[in-house]
Amino acid sequence: MYKDKIDFFLQEISKKCNDEKADNISLNIGSSYYSLFYNNDVEIERIEDLIDLASEDIQYSFATGSLAVLYFMRLLYNSDIITDEDIESIEEDSIDFFLELINIYADKKEYDLFTGLIGLGLYFLEIRKFDTVAKIVSYLDHMKHEHNTSFFWIDNITKEENTCDLGLAHGLPSIISFLSECYHHDCEKEICEKLIRGGVNFLIELYNENKDAQHIFPSKINVITGKKLPSNRLAWCYGDLGIAVCIWKAYTVLKDEELKAISLAIILNSARVRIDNSGIFYSTKNDCIDTGFCHGSSGISHIFNKFHRIFEHEELKEARDYWMAITLKELDKGTKFPYDLKNDVWKEHTGLLEGISGVGMVLLDYQYPHKAKDWDKIYLMNIE
């Protein structure tokens, strides 16, 4: 539908990524990630820069820190861009540190995808250290809270007590999605199945309470008072789209047809939401709409695209193309991304999660899915 325009922007984004010489991991890894999938190559100089940046990093984040770099090096190795000797040299000093970091995160009960156990778990799944992944699953089991037949996990990063986070980026849906990955890798299948069932029961209770609303799920809930923080948005990070993803992943494990039906019902409900009620960030002063993967139009289009491939439902195709058209319109103008929302500052950058390289990956997956296969598994989006 948009073939020529998408091909044009794929090339333009490639030029921007190649020209980007950033001094931080986030922008460098975005450029490199796009280059790997679009060109099937990454310059040696850029790889060396990433390794140098990772050696100085003190954040260790799976999104923008040294763990993200280590994971990316594995992708390079799997693509035969770096050798056995290269990957051994890169990993030999890092793995012991990240093994110790598991214990630190467990003590803090920090399960977060980007700054906790789940990001580490995805890395160790990638390098097939299943004994370590099993340890992480065990920690998640011990961290759970039970209520009747439901399980939930308390967010220990925020200052809000007794809060269960419901975002795919930071909350219960990420736990269910990660455990589904573990299950499909034959890692602690019995424990994973139990935790997935309990976690999805918690979500089904919330679904049944509010399933007729335009936006069904809150972003957070106080499990003591029942007070809910509304989400009222379409995004990968928070809202109904991410919960539809995790319920679908739960279905692939539990083979419960009710879960399949609920996942479809949620995603179809979201497909009817237009931009005015989407909660998407925009700036009148800068004349731009957020197109990033995390909480912008490209990420929304991508999720509908993935579900359209599963269900082949016309409404999902229409929603995919509606959000793709918005994304392409912004690219025509020269897209910028929210940098400081409080002060309405927007900038162009090559980040993967929130910048132009992530938009490029969505376009690549839309146009040439064989070239972008599983690019989004770092964001728990490998649902096909």
Q: Which residues participate in the annotated binding site?
A: 237, 294-295
As annotated, the binding site for Zn(2+) includes 237, 294-295
Give the confidence band of 22 by pLDDT, cuts at 50, 70, 90.
Answer: confident
Interval 203-246: pLDDT, tens: 999 999 999 999 999 999 999 999 999 999 999 999 999 999 99
Q: Is the pLDDT of residue 157 over 90?
A: no
pLDDT of res. 269: 99
Strands 163-165 and 218-222, sheet pairing: antiparallel
What whole-number distance in Å separates Cα of residue 291 and Cα of residue 296? 4
Contact (CB, 8 A) for 375 and 21: no
Whole-angstrom distance, CA of residue 269 vs CA of residue 9: 30
**pLDDT computed for residue 114 by the predictor:** 97
Does the model's pTM come out above 0.95?
A: yes
Q: Two tokens at 256?
A: 């419960």
> 104-142: per-residue pLDDT in tens?
999 999 999 999 999 999 999 999 999 999 999 999 999
Express each pLDDT in 307-356 by its tens digit: 999 999 999 999 999 999 999 999 999 989 999 999 999 999 999 999 99
Span 158-212, pLDDT tens digits: 778 899 999 999 999 999 999 999 999 999 999 999 999 999 999 999 999 999 9
pLDDT digits over 275-314, tens only?
Answer: 999 999 999 999 999 999 999 999 999 999 999 999 999 9
Question: What's the chain's average pLDDT?
Answer: 96
